[in-house]
Amino acid sequence: MLTADHSRWGFTASTGLGFSHHSIVDAHFEACRPAYEHLLRRVGIRPGWHVLDAGCGSGDFLPWLAELAGPGGRVSAVDLAAENVALAGARADTVHVTQADLRDLPYASASFDAVWSANTVQYLDDDELRTALAELRRVVRPGGTIAIKDLDAHSITVRPGDPYLFADFFRAAGAVPGYARQLLRSRDLYRHVKQAGLVSVRQETVLIEHFAPLTPQAHAFYGPSCARIAAQALDLGLAAEWTRFVDPGGPDNPLHHPDGYISEGNVLTVASVPPA
């Protein structure tokens, strides 16, 4: 889970994982809030269900999950970082939040009707993903639902500028095992889910687009994020064009251009535990 490259990505939580600190995670949530809500509501969570948020972060999704489960349902949550457990517990005091690893969940088999896991499996290599999927399957009842949402790095692009700039970075950074390679795996999630023995698998990819003038929420996430990627790209000897992203507030930064644009993809994979 913790590979050597995470410190280069920055924004680490106490776990040491890059881009997992609540400040950057919450900024991403606020920048993409409408699309995130749309994807969650596509899962099919029903009133009265007991739902697990697996990798809840600081709890951004918990109010929506509680709304979907309704007064007759329940929501539980786990996260690897102790500070996230505290933040999530304070945000949603009706939710039982526990510090735990997705690869070893502290629940009895068939405890839940559904699991929601957002922006979490990107931190697992393929072997760890297999273990986590087996655990999610174990804790969900037969016929229950497992939903995974994650970033698709293939769809990241910025305009104006070289349309292959981010693709070139992820090709170079993803040439070795690590976080970049795992961010490129999202569109293969359907295959991993099928191999875990889940059924009725469906998957969709949504393009999230931000046009100039970017909202303050979009600037708060994409400015610092692009700066961290730019530092890595320059260390890899990639195009000098990356220097324009180093200063998030710089006048030459493409995100401040009158025709500025940035996009990212999000993949939603939904499947069912086989009936008993």
Which strands, in side-by-side order, build the sheet including 50-54? 96-99, 74-79, 50-54, 112-118, 140-159, 261-272, 199-211
Phi, psi of 28 (to 5 degrees): -65, -45
pLDDT above 90 (res 156): yes
Q: 251 to each of 160, 217, 233, 239, 246, how far by Cα in Å?
A: 14, 18, 20, 19, 11
- The answer as to whether 119 is a domain residue is yes
Tally of domains within the chain:
1
Reading phi first (left if > 0) and then psi (alpha if -120 to 50, else beta), residue 96 is in beta
Find the mean pLDDT for residues 197-225.
Answer: 98
Query: Domain range for residue 115?
Result: 6-154+175-209+265-272
For 53-108, what is each residue's pLDDT tens digit? 999 999 999 999 999 999 999 999 999 999 999 999 998 889 999 999 999 999 99
pLDDT at 188: 98
Q: Where are the alpha helices (DSSP H) in 92-208?
A: 126-139, 165-173, 179-183, 189-195
- The answer as to whether 224 is a domain residue is no
- The answer as to whether 258 is a domain residue is no
- CATH number reported for the structural domain that contains residue 149 in this entry: 3.40.50.150
Which pair of tokens denotes residue 212?
């100039």
pLDDT above 90 (res 262): yes
270 C-beta neighbours (distance < 10 Å), count: 23
Q: What is the mean pLDDT of the chain?
A: 97
pLDDT at 93: 85
- The answer as to whether 21 is a domain residue is yes
Q: In the chain, what percentage of residues exceed pLDDT 90?
A: 96
- The answer as to whether 201 is a domain residue is yes
Residue 1 confidence class, pLDDT cut points 50, 70, 90: confident
Find the mean pLDDT for residues 224-242.
Answer: 97
pLDDT at 203: 98
pLDDT at 48: 98
pLDDT at 92: 87
| Amino acid code (one letter) for 103 | R
